Amino acid sequence: MRRGEIVGLRWKYVDLKLRVAHLPKTKNGDSRDVPLSSKAVAVLEKLKIIAEAREEGENSTDDRVFKARVDAISCAFDRARKRARKLYEQECAASGKKANSDYLLDLRFHDLRHEATSRLAEIFPMHELTKITGHKDPRMLMRYYHPRAEDLAKKLV
């Protein structure tokens, strides 16, 4: 999912029993249903309990699953990336190894979408993958799809 889709997700569009999140508004203008993994459902179930406990006694009309702004996601991700980089440097120093100067420096939140799309491409055929990722044009999806030759070779057995 894109950052805007994540922050725009509302509880009324999440069906934990069917394991689907409905996105009525997406970047390309079409709505779509996103399948939820078991791990995603487990996290959302916990978030739902927390949200319901907070709203008890409140008259809140904010039905958003994640009460954050798009830029807040990028900022939080950047802070996490910097912490991970610092830990990496500390581990390298402790083991007497030289840290790779480029490690994690150019990682962006959007790269997670790219990685997820590449991994989902190992499971789903392209026509199903376009429904999950929200790409209208398969050519755009191909920018994300990078199958490894060894994985393709296994399918040829």
The catalytic residue among 12, 25, 27, 82 is 27
Q: Is 2 annotated as catalytic?
A: yes
Burial 123-132 (b: 16+ CB within 10 A, else e): eeeeeebbeb
At 126, phi and psi to the nearest 5? -55, -40
Whether residue 139 lies in the annotated active site: no
Kindly name the residue from 13, 88, 144, 145 that is annotated as catalytic: 144
Catalytic: which of 110, 136, 143, 146?
110
Task: Tell me if residue 54 is catalytic.
Answer: no
Q: Of 22, 113, 114, 131, which residue is the catalytic one?
A: 113
Q: Which residues of 6-29 are buried (b: 16+ CB within 10 A; e: fewer)?
A: bbbbeeebbeeeeeebebeebeee
Residue 83: active-site member: no
Is 69 labeled as catalytic in the residue annotation? no
CB-based contacts of 98: which residues, under 8 Å, 6+ apart? 92
Q: Which of 2, 19, 48, 81 is catalytic?
A: 2
Query: Is 3 a residue of the active site?
Result: no
CA distance 105 to 52: 38
Q: Which residues are catalytic?
A: 2, 27, 110, 113, 135, 144
